[in-house]
């Protein structure tokens, strides 16, 4: 949220649809007392959204004509933040094969499926809205369940989390075995390609394309003071129930990577799990990140492990996603072969580009 806040701030006074106009900035400051240029919002987009949405509750219930006069500007700024977050998370370059982040996600899932086949299939819980996980598994042909079923119209059905993927070993004896590479993906805060569509038992749809006119019906928990209350509705109640069910199982291990313990509703489930003797919590983060991580570290609980500090020489920190993927996760022979093939193809591609006249002396 901090980098997003900086980018959104740079758009003040611009002309595109996500830019906040000078008149909107002035009206919010003069009428509602909200200074969008305040340094408190410069590095915290969550803080900005909290203030905007809390003010909206006040404006909607105010009988003052002056206050009501700023209602349209307030609503406009809120929608611009939502459109901005949606567009940033769905940019076309994020789906490019050369994107290093997408490459890391592919490595992550490649190595995750090396989990011992005698253990339950792994669950990946994320609060991110983006589509890196789905794109990575799709391109690797890794089967996964994200709570949606269907083909033409994929709709959310929590019953799919009870399903497993199996292959038939012997037709005559009807012997089956679970597919080893199956993964459960649970997006606790929704996704940029989920929309509310119709009523009934399964009103949430998953889209393959991202039309611009569905922003208002996105199924995403935006950073608001009501975030915890929002998570009580469907599909979030089902997603959080799955999260709680998995972490409270006997001998379960939760590995937290890239999570700063900033969501109270997620933290509550983790804290509840710590009341179970067999639970283990592995946190890739600096204990000094915030008060909660420091409190967990100060517990000196042998069930809570922190991993942080300097990474490989000249590389990322030990608790960064890149280091976790490349140095902490196991690598099988197949992964090394795939990496070698990719390097060879890239080298051949570079040579072909030079041979086709792409060098400095071309033309």
Alpha carbon separation from 80 to 19, 37, 75, 205, 330 (Å, rounded): 7, 16, 9, 23, 42
Q: Which strands sit side by side in the sheet containing 304-307, from one edge to the other?
A: 253-257, 280-284, 304-307
Q: Is 283 helix (H, G, I), strand (E, B) or coil?
A: strand
Question: Can you give the pLDDT at residue 275?
Answer: 93
Give CA 116 to chain center in angstroms: 26
Question: Can you give the pLDDT at residue 272?
Answer: 93
Helices vs. strands in the chain: H and E counts, helices first: 13, 13
Question: Can you give the pLDDT at residue 362?
Answer: 43
Q: Which two tokens stand for residue 18?
A: 């996500």
Question: Can you give the pLDDT at residue 293?
Answer: 95
Each residue's pLDDT expressed in tens, for the chain with a length of 363 residues:
677 788 888 888 877 777 888 889 998 999 999 998 888 888 778 778 878 888 888 888 888 888 888 899 998 888 888 888 878 877 777 778 778 899 999 999 999 988 887 888 899 999 888 899 999 999 999 999 999 998 888 999 999 999 988 877 666 767 777 788 899 999 998 888 888 877 677 888 888 876 565 555 666 665 554 554 554 567 888 999 999 999 998 889 999 999 989 888 899 999 999 999 999 999 999 999 999 999 999 999 999 999 999 988 777 899 999 999 999 988 765 555 666 666 676 677 666 665 555 444 443
Query: What are the sequence ranges of the domains in the chain?
Result: 2-89, 92-335
Strands (E), 279-349: 280-284, 304-307
Residue 231 contacts residue 240 (beta carbons within 8 Å)? yes
Question: Can you give the pLDDT at residue 124?
Answer: 97
Question: Can you give the pLDDT at residue 341?
Answer: 65
Residue 265 contacts residue 243 (beta carbons within 8 Å)? no
Question: Can you give the pLDDT at residue 363?
Answer: 39
Question: Can you give the pLDDT at residue 82?
Answer: 80
**How would you class 141 by CB atoms within 10 Å of its CB: exposed for 0-12, middle for 13-18, buried for 19 or more?**
exposed
Q: Is 155 helix (H, G, I), strand (E, B) or coil?
A: strand
For residues 262 and 327, give the distance between their C-alpha atoms in angstroms, rounded to a whole number. Answer: 26
């Amino acid at each position: 949220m901090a980098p997003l806040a900086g980018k959104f701030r740079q758009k003040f006074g611009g002309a595109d649809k996500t830019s906040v106009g000078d008149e909107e900035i002035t009206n919010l400051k003069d009428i509602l007392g909200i200074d969008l240029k305040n340094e408190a919002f410069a590095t915290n987009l969550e803080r900005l959204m909290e203030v905007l949405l809390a003010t909206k509750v006040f404006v909607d219930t105010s009988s003052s004509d002056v206050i009501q006069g700023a209602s349209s500007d307030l609503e406009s700024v809120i929608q611009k933040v939502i459109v901005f977050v949606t567009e940033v998370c769905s940019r076309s370059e994020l789906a490019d094969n050369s994107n290093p982040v997408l490459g890391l996600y592919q490595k992550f899932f490649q190595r995750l499926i090396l989990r011992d086949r005698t253990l339950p299939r792994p669950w990946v819980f994320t609060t991110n809205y983006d589509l890196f996980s789905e794109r990575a598994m799709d391109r690797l042909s890794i089967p996964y369940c994200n709570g949606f079923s269907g083909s033409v119209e994929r709709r959310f059905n929590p019953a799919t989390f009870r399903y497993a993927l199996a292959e038939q070993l012997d037709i005559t004896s009807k012997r089956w075995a679970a597919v080893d590479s199956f993964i459960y993906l649970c997006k606790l805060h929704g996704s940029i390609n989920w929309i509310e569509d119709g009523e009934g038992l399964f009103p949430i749809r998953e889209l393959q394309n991202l039309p611009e006119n569905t922003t208002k019906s996105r199924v995403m928990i935006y950073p608001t003071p009501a975030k915890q209350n929002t998570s009580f509705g469907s599909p979030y109640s089902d997603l959080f129930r799955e999260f709680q069910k998995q972490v409270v199982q006997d001998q379960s291990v939760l590995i937290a990577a890239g999570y700063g313990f900033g969501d109270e509703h997620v933290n509550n489930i983790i804290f509840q799990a710590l009341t179970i003797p067999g639970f283990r919590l592995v946190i890739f983060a600096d204990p000094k990140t915030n008060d909660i991580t420091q409190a967990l570290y100060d517990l000196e609980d042998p069930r809570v492990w922190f991993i942080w500090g300097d990474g490989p020489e000249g590389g990322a920190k030990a608790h960064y996603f890149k280091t976790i993927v490349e140095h902490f996760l196991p690598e099988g022979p197949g992964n090394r072969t795939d990496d070698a093939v990719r390097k060879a193809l890239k080298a051949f591609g570079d040579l072909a580009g030079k041979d086709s006249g792409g060098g400095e002396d071309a033309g």
